[in-house]
Amino acid sequence: MKKMWGTFLLLTIIILFTGCSSAPLNLEIAKDDVMNYYDSGKYDAELDNVVKHAESEFNSIQPGDSTVVIFDVDETILSSYDFEKDLDFGYVMPLWDKYILEAKEPAIKQTKSLCDFLVKKGFKIIFLTGRKNDQYNATYKNLFNDGFTKFDTLIVRQPPEFDYTALKYKSLQRTELTNRGYKIVGTVGDQYSDLDGPYHGIQVKIPNYLYIIK
């Protein structure tokens, strides 16, 4: 009898455990967790560590005339966290497009600091973003107004590239830059699709708990 109770208890635990593990997190709880992470300083602390580690890695490289580090823009250099929080983390394309054209996105202070560090050491900076060609001027203005005044190039998607995945688009752009003579020694981005593919150099993954781009 004792053995039967033991078996019953074990089965109950397995069923409960299996049931719990397959249930998704309630969306409100997930949003609260994300907001708490960003607003409590934990996101900043994680980012401090990422940038500190990146600086030590880049310190081992002596830049030449064409040595370049590629930076993504959204959630790597510019933060849309406050904007997305105001929208309760929903994605509404017309509102997002309007927000980009306002060119008032704040810089992420840690990656701004990394960028400044690299410029001072003699690395070229190229911004490679999935934003489209009609957003070029606003993006350039936003970056410039946030203090990014010494970058080499800003690359945005052209019409033939609109349907490419981020991974394909960024891989092709890095290949093209390499063919033109740039030596890419590092890539900084909040998405793995920013970092994977050829010619990435040192990969610096910036934390992003708001969305995933494949």
Residue 75 touching Mg ion (CB under 5 A): yes
- 113 contact partners, CB below 8 Å, separation of at least 6: 51
Name the segment binding Mg ion (CB under 5 A); options: 70-78, 93-101, 141-149, 195-203. 70-78
Residue 74 touching Mg ion (CB under 5 A): yes
Q: How far apart (Å, rounded) are the C-alpha atoms in residues 15 and 207?
A: 35
Name the segment binding Mg ion (CB under 5 A); options: 6-14, 74-82, 135-143, 164-172. 74-82
Site string for Mg ion, 76-95 (x = CB under 5 A): x-------------------
H/E element, 57 = helix 42-58
- 37 contact partners, CB below 8 Å, separation of at least 6: 43, 209
- The minimum distance between CB 27 and Mg ion, in angstroms, equals 23
Residue 72 touching Mg ion (CB under 5 A): yes
Shorter beta-carbon distance to Mg ion: residue 71 or 123 = 71
- Cα distances (Å, whole numbers) of residue 35 to 43, 46, 49, 141, 208: 10, 15, 20, 29, 12
Which chain residues interact with Mg ion by CB under 5 A?
Answer: 72, 74-76, 190
